[in-house]
Chains A and B, each alone.
Chain A
């Protein structure tokens, strides 16, 4: 478990002002050694600013940033045990690949041959063996990314900071690099902190994710908890797709909440399913992910709860089909997704069907 590992980074009530603008509003969090940690949020939420306070490129207005138990207030960026992979990669265009990778070794006391060996090792680690003599400006986007990684990792930092490192790559390349980054992180065992606005990327890669809105951490959790039990409507809205149905709270007793949701009827939810309604207007709602609803094809039986519905829209994705369905008794349609298993038909608009659901997959926002 990650909680057994020592604390690598600790934010203590970090505030950051740009003039009157309050960019970071009291960040408190700990990141453990060897963790793959993501800062996720929409643009302008402060995630990059927070990352740059770790690197030392941004000072903080109050609070403290600790790395390895040491307050970083008086440690400039060039003396911190962190290295960064920049969004633009910041490959030095006038140097070769090897000179770029070996840039940080300039003051290293090792011999030239030893340094060259370290450069080769670093290039091998990112799959660029033999590229050392190439001019940096002749590289493709993916190769630049790898050079930036090798250049940062060669210094064996305690923490590697990645500022939207995959945003400039195309979809295929991005997915490939996601997997490679995970493997690389396991291999070197360094703490990785990734900034991204792509929730899928964060879910795929991270051990833990901090979701940020407007300079604050809205939820800090592992990907599964974040996805299944979003702490607020806002987080739920930001991560994946979630359906919301108006609900009425009937009674609360002994940690259980009895709720009546539109279309679904009465149900009993556990305390861990009750979340904040922050970010939503109006009363309480129940939320559920598209894949937690299942269409019951003709004759299929279920032990779960179910209700009648009509298909209103069909979006075919190849591996998946998304349906917008109207559950009987509901004001608006909800979205559900079905995997296109072989032999399973794709329903047409207007089809009357039944859908199964389970109270355990629901979340109540109030």
Chain B
């Protein structure tokens, strides 16, 4: 038997199967969509990224590379204020939205009858799909001088004259955006909560923990992936929102997107517009990265707290503190001006934190 098998000449050829491999099939299948995204998404994004390093000429873009647009975007008071405001608004919206969304997701996941969960999710998503522009406009009606809130409060006799701090400032932007992005925050948290094995919670209770402690020690850590995606999915797009600041932000409520629109469509300054857009994304990336590092470090300390030495614990606590400090410094820099110091300090701290984390992870 063995000899006849060995004498077959076709045997070695079989090592390379004749059928198209799974990888090729998959790539072929995805290629139309991928090609579309490559041409109409990736290529344009690369283009504006490139533009941001070019020089603005009169009605044209000159091919001289420069960092001038970035210098302008990061030093000119007008742009810096707007970027800082956008960042602040996005952070506030994210915080408000996620904090408001969590109890809803928790309620639907833990208290709503399984057969009615889809209905709840559907109810939550419906407002999201209906006429964004008109919804934003209606917030103007709700929050305005003669709006629903003011007339209601005056009708109840709680105030004598309409409140003016409701509309045309960052408050109204935050409220409107928190409303618009609520489903985006609820859904990922809900999905994460749904994945939690209910017997874990029963085990927690069974082991004598109070329901609140069980929530803190079991539910919240397991829901973190959902919270993180909720943060990302709210934070990134809100920093670039155009309609809301335009309609309810008033003259003092302009955000990055409004400036980018003006620079592109009115002033024809593509490089500066691109630099602003890229900068806002860089800012988002930086904040998310730091938040992720904080989370990783705190999570690490938290997990290791039982079996670790005081020294290691101290090192990681110090690192976490350094990270927090770094965040503070970046925000400070946006307000004041000491770019060189901040960037070098930030880079050094990050490098140290990363190296230390890697080392300790592999050591333990």
Chain A hits for B1, CB < 8 A: 12, 28
Smallest CB gap from A56: residue in B: B19
B195 proximal to A (CB < 8 A) = no
Q: Describe B's contact surface by its main secondary structure.
A: loop
A59 touches B11 (CB 8 A): no
CA distance A270 to B1 in the complex (A): 30
| Chain A positions within 8 Å of B2 at CB level | 13, 28
**A60 in the interface, Cβ–Cβ < 8 Å?**
yes
Assembled-state Cα–Cα distance A64/B14 (Å):
9
B1-34: CB near A (< 8 Å → 1, else 0) gives 1100100101110110111000000000000000
A62 touches B14 (CB 8 A): yes
- What is the distance, in angstroms, from A182's C-beta to the closest C-beta of chain B? 30
Residues of B within 8 A of A74 (CB): 18
Partner of A59, one of B5, B10, B17: B17
- A73 engages B10 (CB within 8 Å): yes
Measured between alpha carbons, how far is A28 from B1 in the docked complex, in Å?
A: 10
Give Cα A62 to B12, complex, Å: 7
Is A76 engaged at the interface, CB distance under 8 Å to the other chain? yes
Question: CB within 8 A of A64: which of B8, B15, B18, B19?
Answer: B8
Q: Please, how many angstroms separate the alpha-carbon atoms of A61 and B18 in the complex?
A: 12
Q: Is the CB of A76 within 8 A of B11?
A: no
B contact residues around A12 at 8 Å (CB): 1, 5
Beta-carbon contacts under 8 Å, A285-327 to B: none
In the complex, the answer to whether A13 meets B19 with C-beta atoms within 8 Å is no
CA distance A59 to B10 in the complex (A): 15
With A and B bound together, what is the CA distance between A59 and B20 in angstroms?
11
State the CA gap A52–B303 with chains docked (Å): 44
Tell whether A62 pairs with B19 under 8 Å between CB atoms, given A12-B1, A12-B5, A13-B2: no
Contact B5 A61 (CB under 8 A): no
A residues near B15, Cβ cutoff 8 Å? 61-62
Cα-based distance from A71 to B11 in the complex (angstroms): 10
A13-B14 contact, Cβ under 8 Å, with A59-B19, A76-B19: no
Chain A residues contacting B17 (CB-CB under 8 Å) are 59
Q: Which residues of B contact A28 (CB under 8 A)?
A: 1-2
Residues of chain A lying within 8 A (CB to CB) of residue B8: 64, 71
Give bound CA distance, A64 to B6, whole Å. Answer: 11
Q: Give the docked Cα–Cα distance between A140 and B18 (Å).
A: 41
Chain A residues with CB under 8 Å of B18's CB are 74
C-beta contact mask, A38-81 vs B, less than 8 Å → 1, else 0?
00000000000000000000011111100000010110100000
Please name all residues of chain B whose beta carbon is closer than 8 Å to the beta carbon of A62 when the two chains form the complex: 11-12, 14-15
Nearest CB of chain B from residue A231's CB, rounded to whole Å: 20
| Minimal beta-carbon separation of A7 from chain B (angstroms) | 10
User: Given the complex of chains A and B, what is the CA–CA distance between A71 and B5 in angstroms?
Assistant: 11
CB distance A13 to B10 under 8 Å? no
Q: Which residue of A lies closest to B13 (CB)?
A: A73
- In the complex, the answer to whether A63 meets B5 with C-beta atoms within 8 Å is yes
Bound CA span A60–B11, Å: 11
B5 to chain A, nearest CB (A): 4
Q: A12-B1, A12-B5 are in contact. Are A60 and B14 (CB under 8 A)?
A: yes
Contact across chains for A73 and B14 when beta carbons are under 8 A apart: yes
Identify the closest chain A residue to B14 (Cβ): A73
For A59, A60, A63, the residue with the greatest tally of chain B CB atoms inside 10 Å of its CB is: A59
On chain A, the residues within 8 Å of B14 by CB distance are: 60-64, 73
Q: A74: nearest residue on chain B (CB-CB)? A: B18
CB B10 to nearest CB in A, in angstroms, measures 7
Report the bound CA distance from A138 to B16 in whole Å. 44
Bound CA span A59–B19, Å? 9
**A131 CB to nearest B CB, Å:** 30
Please give the distance in Å from A134's CB to the nearest CB on chain B. 26
B195 to chain A, nearest CB (A): 23
CA distance A62 to B11 in the complex (A): 7
Binary contact track A5-40/B, C-beta < 8 Å → 1, others 0:
000000011000000000000001000000000000
Report B-chain residues with C-beta under 8 Å of the C-beta of A13: 2, 5
Determine which residue in B5, B10, B12, B19 has the highest number of CB atoms from chain A within 10 A of its CB, and name it: B5
Residues in chain B near residue A61, CB distance under 8 A: 14-15
Instruction: Kindly list chain A residues whose C-beta atoms are within 8 Å of the C-beta of B19.
Output: 59, 76
Query: A60: which B residues are within 8 A, CB to CB?
Result: 14
Known: A60-B14, A63-B14, A64-B14. 7 other contacts (CB 8 A): A12-B5, A13-B5, A62-B11, A62-B12, A62-B14, A64-B5, A73-B14
- 4 closest cross-chain pairs (CB), A and B: A12-B5, A59-B17, A73-B14, A62-B15
28 contacts between A and B (CB under 8 A): A12-B1, A12-B5, A13-B2, A13-B5, A28-B1, A28-B2, A59-B17, A59-B19, A60-B14, A61-B14, A61-B15, A62-B11, A62-B12, A62-B14, A62-B15, A63-B5, A63-B11, A63-B14, A64-B5, A64-B8, A64-B11, A64-B14, A71-B8, A71-B10, A73-B10, A73-B14, A74-B18, A76-B19
